[in-house]
Structure 1
Amino acid sequence: MKKTLRIATRKSPLAMWQAEFVKAELEKIFPALEIELLPMSTKGDKILDVPLAKIGGKGLFIKELEDCMLAGEADIAIHSMKDVPMELPEGFALGAILERHAPTDAFVSNNYATFDSLPKGAILGTSSLRRKAQLLAARPDLDVRDLRGNVGTRLGKMDAGEYDAIVLATSGLQRLELDERIRHEISPELCLPAVTQGTLGIEYFENDQETLEIIKVLNHRDSEIRSIAERAMNHRLEGGCQVPIGVFAELDGDKIFIRGLVAELDGSVVLTASIEGDKKDAKALGTTLGEKLLAQGAKAILDEVYASDLHKG
């Protein structure tokens, strides 16, 4: 077994937490293994005044870590799975899907206890087209504005009075020990999570068996099955990372239940569908769910999103 393992990671506090978490978990199992972190700033971290979809989507966060691996500087990269494109570049693979943390979105506000209690015209901040569409569908009277930056930056903007409330991933706040900022978790019934939200994945070179032998011990099979189902739906819809698509898979014994959603950006149209079956058929069920949404007209909605200014550089 190799003696050292090098992890490429973004420098943001949340990305560093993810890398440190994986490092600590592996050190428990392989105490003789020396693990090094290689923190770096990516273009997506640096350009904060433009909507993410306009500068290339969340794939920006992934590519530069892969470039670091290709340069021979790192063996693996840790990603939030919701940032990982459906198709990885040739030679790369996912070696482990970690146990899923909270998949929900969190409502954060200094002045309002719940999403429902926001007054008409309140300014709500989010970087996600998925959240924007669903929250506007529930509350078209709100002023939903773009919000970029790492978790600390976003909280700072709200604290400075730029927003009445913001919506962030529950898992991110919990990982940064900012649980006290969560006023309440938004139910999947109100806002269906992003594909694989709350799940971490480890990327490696698919021909590097030595590295795979190390990282595969962290694979969590149930989380992997849910990830496969959700990513299959998104893949069938040809959805990128920054699109108004929501999906949530749940397991009950050998059964899997998946809900999917595609929405207009302004929330005026929300298409929903669901499917259930045996978890061994997770990928096929996810694909079928995507087809159900396409049959309702999802392609026209997504084509319009891709043609919009949000996706033009």
Structure 2
Amino acid sequence: MQTKPFRIGTRGSPLALAQATEARDRLMAAHGLPEEMFEIVVLTTRGDKITDRPLTEIGGKGLFTFELENQLLAGHLDFAVHSAKDMSTRLPEGLILSACLPREDIRDVLIGRTAPHLDDLPKRATVGSASLRRQALIRRRRPDLNVVIFRGQVETRLRKLAEGQADATLLALAGLKRLGKVEVLTEIFEPDVFPPAPAQGAIAIESRTNDERVLALLAAINDDATYDCVSCERAFLSALDGSCRTPIAGYAICEGDQIHFNGLIITPDGQHEHTATIDGNRRDAAALGLLVGQDVRARAGSGFFEAWS
């Protein structure tokens, strides 16, 4: 019987803490455990420390999870809570994506300072974003805009915007909802015209592969539909990720025992793209994502990726 508190690893940003708290509260409710049985352990990651350069220049995916994963492998944490889109597609040996919480809204939003909608911004207006995908999608729709790197926590980006460092910025609606800051948004982008990052809006829990006690604990709060969608999207990303800096978008939708996936790769200038869709049974979610990723990679050709690597 568990007598010591379960140790939950997380980053220290307000959003990360909100996500860790949600995971803890769901576990308390599912197992009838008191709050004292969970300890939230805050770690600072390399991605948190380096905020003056694009993520692609300092290591890309994994920058927000590396320290947490090391502590997991060392046995100092029982599990870690992440934004699913921050996780590398290839987890360290001995670790597993063990559960996903019910997914929040997958859409991106605009926070406009000088105009409420992207199409209303004046020519050559400045839009700040740290995401290669968002930058490319902005340029696809408004090639006249000046797109600049905008890194930092949600609060930091909103402060930069208020200070006039940009005319607008883009954020995930899921994060604003979890922080109770929905009132700042001025436009919501539908995924069919502004597709989200793979796994956007999902909270993932990572634990040790051989820790049956923790795996059983987490199974009670896993949302099967979210897990299947995230598995499909991460598999799509894995077929494309690592050897290029090409912006990638993708989202899956579960309906009954079926899953439908839409994917996109686009050049950073927003001028060239390839789309992909696939339907199938949810039990094959990861295999479907991998298949469609390999297909779109083959259709795009190596030159599509090498030009931007």
Query: For the superposition of Structure 1 and Structure 2, which TM-score range results when normalised by the shorter chain?
Result: over 0.9
Q: Percent identity?
A: 39
Q: Which protein, 1 or 2, shows the higher relative CO under an 8 Å CA cutoff with sep ≥ 6? A: 1
1:208-247 CA distance string (max 9 Å, x none):
1111111111111111111111111111223589740000
Asked if 1:91 is matched to 2:94, the reply is yes
Distance of 2:89 and 2:243 partners within structure 1: 8
Distance in 1 of aligned mates of 2:245 and 2:83: 14
Residues of 1 paired with 2:55 and 2:100: CA distance?
25
Correspondence for 2:30: 29
User: RMSD of aligned C-alpha atoms?
Assistant: 1.7
Alignment-mate amino acid for residue 130 of structure 2 = S
Corresponding position of 1:271: 274
5+ residue gaps, structure 2, are none
> Deviations for 1:190-213, whole angstroms, at most 9, x for unmatched residues?
221101100011111111111111
1:255-305 CA distance string (max 9 Å, x none): 222111111111111111212222232222212211231232154333333
Corresponding residue number in structure 2 for 1:217: 220
State the TM-score, normalizing by the size of structure 2: 0.94
Deviations 1:33-77 (A, max 9, x none): 500011121111111111111111130111101122233321110
Kept in 1, the 8 Å contact 2:245–2:308? The answer is: no
Q: What does 1:226-245 correspond to in 2, within 5 Å?
A: 226-239=229-242, 243-245=246-248
**Secondary structure at 2:63 match in 1:** helix
What code does the residue aligned with 1:28 have? A
3-state DSSP class of the match of 1:218? coil
Distance in 2 of aligned mates of 1:69 and 1:285 = 30
The DSSP-based 3-state class of the residue aligned with 1:212 is helix
- Is 1:304 matched up with 2:307? yes
Structure 1 stretch displaced more, 129-138 or 287-296: 287-296
1:126 deviates by 0.6
Aligned residue in 2 for 1:158? 161
Partner secondary structure for residue 144 of structure 1: strand
Q: In structure 1, how many angstroms separate the alpha carbons of the residues matched to 2:282 and 2:81?
A: 26
Structure 1 regions of 5+ residues with no counterpart? Answer: 307-313
Q: Partner of 2:119 in structure 1?
A: 116
Q: Mark the CA change 1:241 to 1:301 in structure 2 (over 3 Å): closer, same or farther.
A: closer
Matches within 5 A, 1:1-313: 1-3=1-3, 4-32=5-33, 34-239=37-242, 243-297=246-300, 299-306=302-309
> Higher mean Cα deviation, 231-240 or 193-202?
231-240
Cα distance change of structure 1 residues 242 and 5 upon mapping to structure 2, 3 Å threshold: farther
Q: In 2, Cα distance between the equivalents of 1:242 and 1:150?
A: 22
